[in-house]
Amino acid sequence: MQNGKKLVVLNPAHGGNNSGIVHGEHRECAIARSVILKLQDKLLAEGKVEATTSFELAGKPLCCAWEHEERRGELKSINSTSNAIDFLLSIGVSYDGPKQESSGLVIHHGTGLMAPIVMRDTLIAHARESGYSLEGNRHYSQWFYSLDSYTATHRINHCVLNTVSSELIVLPGFLSNPADREILTSKQGQDVLAEGIAQGLYRILSV
């Protein structure tokens, strides 16, 4: 809590899809940073919560945690000691080829069992109002919640989930429709995402 407001620590990351590298940079990282910064600006401007990033708390430039594996422990320690709500945005964007189905949006946070449903429904509703259809592209896969399974463990180890709680809350759902790439790669689409995520966070945090 800061000034009586809940503190949200934002973390950009990408899903490890190396085929998305453009000019030596992960496209996912660039998009995740862009959306996170838009989201942070919105949260701070509206003043309902305090918002920062793990990198700001560490006094380091904003980047994707995936790019700096040595920072995983440091970021997790910062998040766990800041008494904050942890939020990580992971975006995967495939190259312009046959793997377009791997494009997607995944949100990880540790704020309660209903959080992924609330965030999913809020994002879909806000996107619909803004002219983007996300219905049908978001689905639940049980292995996302089965922490004992190899797949979930593998994902935790490789997606840099800096959640502070012991439970892993994931909004499973990938934008598998190539047309949905627009919401990830366009300025307007990223604005819609940032606004939808902000609305979802407000509902989850009851602010």
How many domains does the chain fold into?
A: 1
* CATH code of the domain containing 92: 3.40.630.40
Note whether residue 107 is domain-resident: yes
- Please report the pLDDT score of residue 81 as a whole number: 59
Instruction: Output the six-digit token pair for 22.
Output: 């453009």
Low-confidence residues of the chain: pLDDT under 50: 15-23, 65-67, 93-104, 137-179
Note whether residue 1 is domain-resident: no
Note whether residue 151 is domain-resident: yes
- Please report the pLDDT score of residue 42 as a whole number: 96
Tell me the backbone φ, ψ of residue 171, rounded to 5 degrees: -90, 95
- Please report the pLDDT score of residue 14 as a whole number: 52
Q: Number of H helices and number of E strands within the chain?
A: 7, 7
Instruction: Output the six-digit token pair for 123.
Output: 């994002």
Q: Which residue has the tokens 């305090």?
A: 50
Note whether residue 36 is domain-resident: yes
Note whether residue 105 is domain-resident: yes
Q: Give the domain range for residue 171.
A: 7-205
Note whether residue 168 is domain-resident: yes
**Region of residue 206 (left: phi > 0; alpha: psi -120 to 50; beta: else):** left
Q: Distance between CA atoms of 204 and 147, rounded to whole angstroms?
A: 23
Note whether residue 171 is domain-resident: yes
- Please report the pLDDT score of residue 40 as a whole number: 92
pLDDT in tens, 43-54: 999 999 888 887
Note whether residue 90 is domain-resident: yes
Which amino acid is located at 136 in the chain? G
- Please report the pLDDT score of residue 191 as a whole number: 94
Cβ count within 10 A of residue 164: 19
